[in-house]
Structure 1
Amino acid sequence: MKLTIIATTILLLTSFVTTAKAENMSHLRQLLSTKSCQQCDLAGAGLVTNNLAGAKLERANLAGANLSQANLAGADLRGANLAGASLNGANLTGADLRGANLAGTDLRSAYLTNANVSGIDVSAAYLDGAIGIPTSLGTADDFYKWGFANWQKNDFAGAVAHYDRSISLNPKFPGVYLARSMAKFRLQNDRGAIEDAMVAERLYFAQADREGTQVAQALIAKIKLASQPTDTNINPGNGNMVDFVTGLSSMLLKFF
């Protein structure tokens, strides 16, 4: 009798698992063939580099799915569960992410330009290197942090873009002006670098931050010296100047 019960239980469990897998595969086939799979169970699905532009995935379960470098431009992901999913390098330009669950979601290097992100929480998501992050998704500190991550990767243009957003949220944050000055200098925008360093100097002075004021003044002097056409020994690629600018990175870390 016991053996019969055990055998029946195993049979039922096997049948349940097989059915569940069949349903998931059915959902996956539906998505790939029609680009429409609302409320589908696609948890853990492998969709790397797939072209899902304009896909209708409202309230779909994509927890743990691998969507790295997938094209999701204009996709409807409202209310989708993307917890733990990888969207590393994915194209989410113009995608609708309202109400999506992004807990632990990997959005590094993803493209988020013009994405609708109303009502989503990215505090537990990974956004380092993401492009076009809407201002509403972060604080001035967040954009400063993301900009510094770009700086560390020598992506100075990306760093400036994040610093711009940080300043738009908090125009009295001297550390961001100092950081943007350094990034602009590495982009050979000496005039912009000096202007930002001067703003940083004024803000540090107003805040009675002696160390910050002195660092900003030193940076201004170094950039002016480097921009002199008669001095061929100091330029953005010169070791001494690069070492000086890179050395200031330790000061920027204190704002994290």
Structure 2
Amino acid sequence: MKPILLTTAAIFTAITLNTSAFAENLQNIQKVLSTKTCPGCDLTDAGLVMAELVGANLSGADLSRANLSRANLTGADLTGANLSGASLNGANLTGANLSGAILVGTDLRDAYLVNAQLFGTDLSSAYIQGTIGLPEYAGTPEDFYAWGVIEAERGNYQAAIEHYNQALNLKADFAPAYLARGIAQFRLSNHGGAIQDAEVASQLFTTQENPVGFQASQNLIAMVEIAQNPPEVRSRPSFGNALVGIGSLLLRFLSPF
């Protein structure tokens, strides 16, 4: 009988602890919504979709797996908060302080980060497609280049260009970023900008002794020149085949680091 009693006691204890934890979590959610102040609180798995949390103090809070999609966190204090696996999809984080926050697997897609502080954070495993206002210090030139390629693959060429611009602001001789930006310019029918970027990339690749990059740049120039031909030339099957061939080479070259 003793083993049965012990097992029953263990189960009862586990249920009691889980119920207590759930109640505490619910109280913390209610506290956040009513006072906007809950530093260090346990808010794991909290449902805070579209919550109005302007200026909220959530420093050091455990928000892992919390759903803060489209929440208004303008000016919020999230320093040192655990946002692992949390969803901040479309959230307004304008002016928020996320310094030292844990952003492992955090969904920041389409979030607004204008004037947000991200010192001491690591975005390498976060999802940032469509994020607006990401500061330059939040990533390396290679990071911004890779993020730009991801945006370009989604067809968001203007967003891709913004990432390439940030990569080039950090590293002025980053030839792949010039080439990638040229391709995005071409996709947006900015043929002049595409040619200019391709020529700069070609020169840099030559200086850096990168024949593959040089050839890709020359192919982009050729692609733009073909596209600028009269309509009757562009309607020929050979034109389409040329675009496919040139585009395939460029895509093979433009892979994130």
- In structure 2, the residue matched to 1:153 is 154
Tell me, what secondary structure is at the counterpart of 1:92? coil
Partner of 2:254: helix, strand, or coil?
Answer: helix
**Once the 2 structures are TM-superposed, how far is the Cα of residue 182 of structure 1 from its aligned partner?**
0.8
Distance 1:232 1:158, change over 3 A: farther
The answer for the alignment partner of 1:77 in structure 2 is 78
Contact 1:234–1:240 (CA<8 Å) still a contact in 2? no
Q: Deviations over 1:120-175 (max 9, x none)?
A: 12233232332222111111111111000011111000000000011111111211
Gaps of 5+ in 2: none
Q: Deviations over 1:188-213 (max 9, x none)?
A: 22221111111001011112222322
- Determine the C-alpha separation between the residues in 2 that align with 1:207 and 1:4: 75
Measure the CA separation in 2 of the matches of 1:28 and 1:191.
54
Q: Is the 8 A contact 2:195 2:221 kept in 1?
A: yes
| Stretch of structure 1 that moved more, 29-38 or 153-162 | 29-38
User: Whole-Å Cα distance in 2 between the matches of residues 76 and 39 of structure 1?
Assistant: 11
Task: Provide TM-score, normalisation by structure 1.
Answer: 0.87
Identity %, equivalent residues: 47
Contact 2:219 2:246 in 1 (8 A): no
Structure 2 CA distance for aligned equivalents of residues 9 and 176 of structure 1: 59
Aligned match of 1:130? 131
The 1-side partners of 2:57 and 2:122 are apart by 21
| Partners of 2:122 and 2:148 in 1: CA distance | 20
Which piece of structure 1 moves more, 171-180 or 126-135? 126-135
Are the counterparts in 2 of residues 182 and 245 from structure 1 also a CA contact under 8 Å? no
Q: 1:26 to 1:161 in 2, by over 3 A?
A: same
Change (3 A) 1:115 1:4: same
Query: CA separation in 1, counterparts of 2:17 and 2:220?
Result: 67
String of CA shifts for 1:27-70, please: whole Å, max 9, x gaps.
11111122222111101111223232322211111011122222
Aligned length: 252
Distance 2:132 2:214 in 1: 32
Alignment map for 1:164-183 (pairs within 5 Å):
164-183=165-184
Task: Look up the match of 1:141.
Answer: 142
Residue number in structure 2 paired with 1:35:
36
Q: 1:241 to 1:88 in 2, by over 3 A?
A: farther
Provide closer, same or farther for how the CA distance between residues 242 and 74 of structure 1 changes in structure 2, counting only shifts above 3 A. farther
The separation in 2 between residues aligned to 1:179 and 1:5, in whole angstroms, is 65
3-state DSSP of counterpart to 1:111: coil
Q: Distance in 1 between matches of 2:34 and 2:232?
A: 61
Most deviating of 8-17 and 118-127: 8-17
CA, structure 1 residues 61+197, in 2 after alignment: closer, same or farther (shift >3 Å)? same
Unpaired segments of 5 or more residues in structure 1?
Answer: none
* Matching residue of 2:190: 189
8 A contact 2:99–2:119 mirrored in 1: yes
Which residue of the partner structure matches residue 89 of structure 1? 90
Q: Is the counterpart of residue 114 in structure 1 residue 115 in structure 2?
A: yes
RMSD: 2.5
> Conserved in 1, the CA contact under 8 Å of 2:223 and 2:246?
no
What letter is aligned with 2:107?
Answer: D
For 1:192, what is the secondary structure of its paired residue?
helix
SS at match of 2:86: coil
The TM-score with structure 2 as length reference comes to: 0.87
Contact 1:129–1:149 at 8 Å: present in 2 too?
no
Deviations 1:89-112 (A, max 9, x none): 322221100111112222233222
1:233 to 1:156, Cα distance in 2 relative to 1, 3 A? farther
